[in-house]
Amino acid sequence: MHMVTVAVAGASGYAGGELLRLLLGHPDVEIGTLTAGANAGQPVGSVHPHLTPLADRLLEDTSAQALAGHDVVFLALPHGHSGAIAAQLPEEAVVVDCGADFRLRDGEAWTHFYDTSYAGCWPYGLPELVLSSGARQRDALRGRRRVAVPGCYPTAVSLALAPGFAGEVLGRHDVVVVAASGTSGAGRTLKPHLLGAEVMGAMSPYGVGGVHRHTPEIEQNLAVAAGGDVTVSFTPTLAPMPRGILATCSAPLAAGVDPGEVRAAWEKAYADEPFVHLLPEGQWPSTSSVLGSNAVHVQVVVDERVGRVVVVSAVDNLTKGTAGAAVQCMNLALGLPETVGLPLAGVAP
């Protein structure tokens, strides 16, 4: 296969930088045009000093003309910005959107949670998502020319809970999720509440009361796994760390299910998945264990006293939560091995 030429829009942001880090290690990729907004005209090294092989490359203005002519285009743009650019790109190019624009199937859900017009829906890029039929979402991604990468919170929560719904061991209502994210999940724009003096030594909730934009995406994914509507109370929190998500998820144990048989649903779902790891019983996920990797660590336990199943997952929000998923989807779209160019192991200590 010839070298795949790749362009990245929004290359100066955290997600764009993580994409470049991964693409530099991909044996089948040649990195082409890199674009940015306010940072256009600057060298990559001025915004991503860790990317020394690309340090002298100049960031161009983001336009369809600059991105055209590549085999693959990654859009790492704020929500509401991908639709117009994508509409101008050639149909034969693989376009992978790392933003939210094409994730939701329901236009009304989009307009309720977002402040821009609905752009439509692309194939959803979470290959490991188990469906109610027992199939996997990756079957919808092979050979596709347009893919919507999941949000970081939906990745952590969906992979934590979907096996339980597909295996019919969880009740579909009264699902509660509390998840902590590192500050990079909020992007690179300067914001007072993300200053070091505000974040260090503190944790705080945000998007409380069912208003976080990832809520409909989480419910959409779990409904696909359950074969019916799932309602979720989702509360995100900000943790004093640069990257990582730890999601603590619970749902009622389904009526008539033997607690001793619950774990089997996760064992079946993830037995052959290279990036999703059900940890040995008694070992709990930690964000430090998945740092820099495309891995998801999961643990499940039954709280028999209250009749609920608790599932905890850990992901790196910039790798598996965004850029790693994008590269994984590119591999599937191009017919490459799914794991190529993606780190299986985290960085420690």
pLDDT tens digits for range 65-117: 999 999 999 999 998 899 999 999 999 999 999 999 999 999 999 999 999 99
Residue 156: what pLDDT? 98
Counting runs of H as helices and runs of E as strands, what totals does the chain give?
Answer: 10, 13
Residue 1: what pLDDT? 59
The reply to whether 121 belongs to the active site is no
State whether 323 and 247 are in the same domain: no
Token pair for 223 = 């409904």
Do the strands 72-75 and 4-9 form a parallel or antiparallel pair, or are they unpaired? parallel
Residue 2: what pLDDT? 82
State whether 198 and 80 are in the same domain: no
Residue 196: what pLDDT? 81
Tell me, yes or no, whether 347 lies in a domain: no
State whether 309 and 172 are in the same domain: yes
State how far the Cα of 349 lies from the Cα of 150, in Å rounded to an integer: 28
Tell me, yes or no, whether 342 lies in a domain: no
Sign of the Cα torsion 171, 261, 344, 127 reads negative
State whether 96 and 162 are in the same domain: no
State how far the Cα of 58 lies from the Cα of 42, in Å rounded to an integer: 6
Among candidates 215, 226, 229, which has minimal Cα distance to 129? 226
What is the CATH classification number for the domain harbouring 216? 3.30.360.10
Residue of 98, 121, 152, 249 marked catalytic: 152
State whether 242 and 261 are in the same domain: yes
State whether 142 and 58 are in the same domain: yes
State whether 159 and 307 are in the same domain: yes
State how far the Cα of 253 lies from the Cα of 167, in Å rounded to an integer: 12
Cis peptide leading into residue 349 (ω within 30°): yes
Supply the range of the domain harboring residue 95. Answer: 4-150+319-334
Chain-centre distance for alpha carbon 103: 11
Among candidates 337, 349, 344, 348, which has minimal Cα distance to 319? 344
State whether 239 and 92 are in the same domain: no
Q: Which residues of the chain have pLDDT under 70?
A: 1
Do the strands 204-205 and 232-238 form a parallel or antiparallel pair, or are they unpaired? antiparallel
In one-letter notation, the amino acid at residue 88 is Q
Residue 195: what pLDDT? 80
Q: Structurally, how many domains does the chain consist of?
A: 2
